[in-house]
Amino acid sequence: MKPQTDFSNFKFLRDCFRRVLPNSQAIALALILIVGFVLIFTLSDVLMPVFASVILAYLLQGIVKKLENRIPRLIAVHVVFSGFITCLGLIIFVLLPMASAQAVQLIQRIPDIIKSTQVEIMRLPELYPQFITEGNIRGVMFSFQDELLVYGQGLISNSAASVVSLVTAIVYLFLVPLMVFFFLKDKQPIVDWFLKFVPRDRSLTVKVWEEVDMQISNYIRGKFVEVFVLALVSYATYSLLGLKYAVLLSVLMGLSVMIPYVGATLVTFPVLGVAAMQWGFVADEFMYVAIAYSIIQAMDGVVLVPLLFSEAVNLHPVAIVVAILFFGGFWGFWGVFFAIPLATAVKAILNAWPTLGDLKVDTAF
């Protein structure tokens, strides 16, 4: 007697395909996602100015909409774009030179920092002879010096590439604002042209996009406000305490919020490191900086984040970390920055997908 084959798994797969494939809305959504992902993944290096311009125009579009209620759209576009150019000019010609100058000063002091650190570390065998020996300390220091030498050689070898990056940045500074203006001014004609290449039956795609649009816009605008507020508060606090390199550390504090969880941990080392280098670990001033830093981070997590992201979709911390690793591996810095919005988009798609069977079947595209 031949054993009976179990077709239960095949029946389950067959039912899934029957539920999804005949639905033109599911096919349209899948095609848009696949094509969009392939284009972004393959052309991200070439079209990075276009992607950056679209993101900036998307951020400014909310301000344009609010001004449209009071003034004509074209005037609103010019007002918002003028404000954008002013802020960009302040960042490029005021903030960046100050932060760069302080970064150069800090780098120039690295040899002194290393020497003073070596002196303090070499004292450890005297203080804790039962745990640390002088041989272990010397081995660690030699390994650190070798790694630092390799890193310095890498910086020198990449100096030619830095020239190319500088030229690329200059080109971007001209192209990106120009494209931002036209994306704001001619938004509707561009959208209408793009929709010609999208399947007609896209109600599911529109449903998913409306949810994602609300979450992404709230997240990105809130994140930029968080960066500005955190950097401003940090600069005022560090300047009041007399901490050196206050502008550089404040910029790092603001940028750290772009990487959830990880950024706050990484920025701790330069802030406390500079304070220790300036006053020492046992000084009262160092404790004041440490306490102020802890209060700023706590206020950011307890007050600022809930206030700015109250409408954001709740994501589990594990999902956020996985999203950072996944999208950061694909698109680097921008993948890390947009990890939460992209994870939100994935969640919206997964939430909408089980309801496909309830949608009206229409195979016409």
pLDDT score for 310? 58
Q: Using CA atoms, how far apart are residues 223 and 43, in angstroms rounded to an integer?
A: 26
Percent of the chain with pLDDT over 70: 67
Distances, alpha carbon 38 to alpha carbons 21, 43, 62, 240, 353, in Å: 21, 8, 28, 50, 21
Q: Using CA atoms, how far apart are residues 141 and 153, in angstroms rounded to an integer?
A: 18
More confident residue, 113 or 14: 113
Percent of the chain with pLDDT over 90: 8
Q: Is the pLDDT of residue 188 over 50?
A: yes
Q: Is the pLDDT of residue 316 over 90?
A: no
Rounded mean pLDDT, 208-212: 73
More confident residue, 259 or 296: 296
Q: Using CA atoms, how far apart are residues 213 and 319, in angstroms rounded to an integer?
A: 20
pLDDT score for 18? 53
Q: Do 343 and 323 form a contact (C-beta atoms < 8 A)?
A: yes
Question: Sign of dihedral through CA atoms 36, 39, 42, 43?
Answer: negative
Q: Do 25 and 202 form a contact (C-beta atoms < 8 A)?
A: yes
Residue type, position 160, single letter: A
Distances, alpha carbon 290 to alpha carbons 65, 262, 298, 341, in Å: 43, 18, 12, 32
Q: Per mean pLDDT, which range of 27-41, 54-68, 242-256, 270-284 is the poorest?
A: 27-41
Q: Using CA atoms, how far apart are residues 250 and 233, in angstroms rounded to an integer?
A: 8
- Name the DSSP letter for residue 360: P
Q: Using CA atoms, how far apart are residues 6 and 273, in angstroms rounded to an integer?
A: 65
Distances, alpha carbon 50 to alpha carbons 53, 58, 171, 172, 208, in Å: 5, 12, 12, 10, 24
Region for residue 337 given its phi and psi (left: phi exceeds 0; alpha: psi -120 to 50; beta: otherwise): alpha
> Can you tell me whether residue 243 is helix, strand or coil?
coil
Task: Kindly tell me the burial class for residue 229, based on how many C-beta atoms sit within 10 Å of its own C-beta (0-12, 13-18, 19 or more).
Answer: middle
Q: Using CA atoms, how far apart are residues 113 and 73, in angstroms rounded to an integer?
A: 55
pLDDT score for 360? 47
Quote the radius of gyration of the chain (alpha carbons, Å): 27
Q: Do 343 and 324 form a contact (C-beta atoms < 8 A)?
A: no
Q: Which residues 6+ apart lie within 8 Å of 208 measured at CB?
A: 29, 345, 348, 349, 352
Rounded mean pLDDT, 308-331: 71
Task: Kindly tell me the burial class for residue 293, based on how many C-beta atoms sit within 10 Å of its own C-beta (0-12, 13-18, 19 or more).
Answer: buried
Q: Which residues 6+ apart lie within 8 Å of 255 measured at CB?
A: 227, 263
Distances, alpha carbon 67 to alpha carbons 70, 81, 150, 179, 185, in Å: 6, 12, 54, 21, 14
pLDDT band at 99 (very low <50, low <70, confident <90, very high): confident
Q: Per mean pLDDT, which range of 50-54, 236-240, 293-297, 305-309 is the poorest?
A: 305-309
Residue type, position 79, single letter: V
Residue type, position 191, single letter: V
What the block records as the tokens of 140 is 């660690």
Q: Using CA atoms, how far apart are residues 91 and 63, in angstroms rounded to an integer?
A: 20
